[in-house]
Chains A and B, each alone.
Chain A
Amino acid sequence: MRRKIGAAFVATCVFLLGGAAQADILFIDTNDQAVERKAIEELGRKYGEPVHIVPADGPALEEVFRKADAGEIKLTTVIGSGHSSGTSFTGKNGSMSGIDAVLAKFPGAKQQIRHFIGLGCYTGTKYASAEWQSRFPNATVLAGFNGIAPSGMWSARFLTQVFTAIMSARQRAGDTDDAFATKLGSDAAALATLKSVLTGLESVKITVASFQMCEQFFDPKGRTREKIKSEVYAGLNVMRGYLNGWGGREDVPPDPHAPSPLRTFYNDVQAYLGDATIEERDELVKAKEQTIRLIYFANVKTNVVRSLTDSEIAAANVALALQPPRWGSDNKPLAFPTKEALAKMKRGEITNLISQIGYNLPSVVEPAPVVAPPVMPATATTTPVAPVVTPAGPTAEQVAATKALYEKLKKQLVDLDVPFSHIDAPPVG
């Protein structure tokens, strides 16, 4: 159950019904950090919360999420550790790049997560925070680093100090995760107090630590124009990942109204545009137009699919069938999908298919001359062989039909050059 707390106060926190004080901690140790493991084990003992230490992706990680999903444990804290570019971890023990698949398999588990601590570089940038928040939609506090992270002792101290600050604030709020989220979401003073406590921590002062609480990003070091600019351009890369449908961003976040990296990027651009140069402004205004259509891609796709006809698709597929792909598709035949199939495809699948068709657009081939076989005198055992005719390629009309549909879909579904009205759901019927 997802509920917004506090009508007048803008902080947004969510809570689940029936939160117990004690809950389990998951520590994903991708880079074999003994000092951090020791720290979390001590914290687990201190607060009576069982700790599950897993190396990276694999059966152990999946088992923890399975148990949480099945209600065998209540998992409220996730800690990631290792090398990172912000939204995943890698190291000696492997990688946790498959966490999204595990979370998709056990959706009940991800709803339980209330705290995330990222012990790795860039895990607390505004965009990484938004990405972790969309993975753990009910998280109240996310902590990480808005730049290069410390390792070893300072990383372990950061973990200890931040976890302790969270637990203390939770105890003051009533010692359940629900009470804690409610307090932070509805009481500006409680939120300000926790911010102040976190800002004062020694490990926060000497590092580039940053936080997100109740969906509000918070950088204790302050945000300069240069920092905002660098966030905007980091966000531009994230947006382009979604636009192209690659790099772990094969599909857009499903709920256009929920916090997401795309929404964060849009809001950052709007805040930065006043300071942008003319060249930056042109680039960012175009990015804004595409971002809003990406956020509402499900509606855009529905509107585009409705405008297609079955005969248009069938005509466009004739030339593709007559001319096998030259490269990029493992010689598998390419074809535009039916309207029904297109409606079900993820953005990444659509951009990939349109790209492959673009690289393999058919062309009109002049028919090869008729090759006559060597004349062989007919004998009692042979019969005259008919001349071999090389099959002709697609006609100009067939090629034009393919190109027309390719250009239409590339413009509307890949480049998102569609009227603004496409972001609204089409009328039923």
Chain B
Amino acid sequence: MKTVIVAASIVMLAAGAAAAKAPAPKEPAITFTVPAPCADVWQKVYTDVDKSWTVTVLPVSKDDETLPAPEVLDAFVARVPGLETAIATLDALDRDLFFVRLQTKSLAELRKIYPKLRADLLEAAKTDRCKQAAGK
């Protein structure tokens, strides 16, 4: 009988030690979403995002696909230094296409469509669209 009690105590002690060594339950992973225009450039706009967070780019929305009003387009072109000159030969239709594509396509796709535009200018233009979509 004594032997059984001792054995049971040993088992209980071992279980207690195992419980003390078990890792603490994980904190839930933080996920963070950014609007579609921010694909590839969100780091430049969302500077306060922790590196451990999982960032997801949302799918293109109807708003992202909407053609710009003339005043919206003009203001955008004026905000990005060097853009007016770079797209001077584009007519109104091609300017609108450029605007919507900035909001709906990745930088790699944009570089393929607009090979003559400087990469840094494309990135600056896309960053502007990201800022607007983010309300920043």
Contact = CB atoms under 8 A, between A and B. Distances in A.
Contacts of B65: 419-421
A263 B90 CA distance: 12
A271 B60 contact: no
B92 A267 contact: yes
B104 interface: yes
A292 B67 contact: yes
Interface residues of B, number: 15
A236 B91 CA distance: 19
B58 to A, nearest CB: 15
Given A273-B69, A419-B65, A266 B93 contact: yes
B93 A295 contact: yes
Contacts of B69: 273, 285
Interface in A401-429: 419-421, 423
B100 A274 contact: no
Contacts of B70: 270-271, 273-274
A285 B67 contact: yes
A420 B62 CA distance: 9
A271 B71 CA distance: 10
Contacts of A266: 92-93
A267 B97 CA distance: 12
B40 interface: no
B50 to A, nearest CB: 32
B124 to A, nearest CB: 22
A271 B92 contact: yes
A32 to B, nearest CB: 41
Contacts of B123: none
Contacts of A202: none
B67 A263 contact: no
Contacts of A271: 70, 92
A126 B88 CA distance: 22
Contacts of A421: 60, 65, 104
B117 to A, nearest CB: 16
Nearest to A272: B70
A334 interface: no
A183 interface: no
Contacts of B88: 10
Main secondary structure of the interface of A (DSSP, over half): helix
Contacts of A419: 60, 65
A274 B88 CA distance: 20
* Range of interface residues on A (Cβ < 8 Å): 10 to 19
A267 B95 CA distance: 10
Contacts of A74: none
A267 B100 contact: no
B47 interface: no
Interface in A87-120: none
Most buried by B among A266, A295, A420, A423: A420
A157 interface: no
A263 B100 contact: no
Given A270-B70, A285-B67, A421-B104, A292 B97 contact: yes
Nearest to B73: A270
A292 B100 CA distance: 12
Contacts of A288: 67, 96
A372 B43 CA distance: 81
Given A420-B100, A420-B104, A421-B104, A292 B93 contact: yes
B31 to A, nearest CB: 25
A289 interface: yes
B3 interface: no
Nearest to B62: A419
A372 B89 CA distance: 79
A270 B92 CA distance: 7
Contacts of A274: 70-71
Contacts of A267: 91-93
Contacts of A289: 67
Interface string A270-299: 110110000000000100110010010000
A304 B134 CA distance: 32
A266 B67 CA distance: 12
B71 A263 contact: no
B89 A270 contact: no
Nearest to A4: B89
B104 A292 contact: no
A419 B67 CA distance: 12
Contacts of B60: 419, 421
30 contacts: A10-B88, A10-B89, A263-B93, A266-B92, A267-B91, A267-B92, A267-B93, A270-B70, A270-B93, A270-B96, A271-B70, A271-B92, A273-B69, A274-B70, A285-B67, A285-B69, A288-B67, A288-B96, A289-B67, A292-B67, A292-B93, A292-B96, A292-B97, A295-B93, A419-B60, A419-B65, A420-B100, A421-B65, A421-B104, A423-B97
Given A271-B92, A419-B60, A421-B60, 20 more contacts: A263-B91, A263-B93, A266-B92, A266-B93, A267-B91, A267-B92, A267-B93, A270-B92, A270-B93, A271-B70, A273-B69, A274-B71, A285-B69, A288-B96, A292-B67, A292-B96, A420-B65, A420-B100, A421-B65, A423-B97
Interface of A: 10, 263, 266-267, 270-271, 273-274, 285, 288-289, 292, 295, 419-421, 423
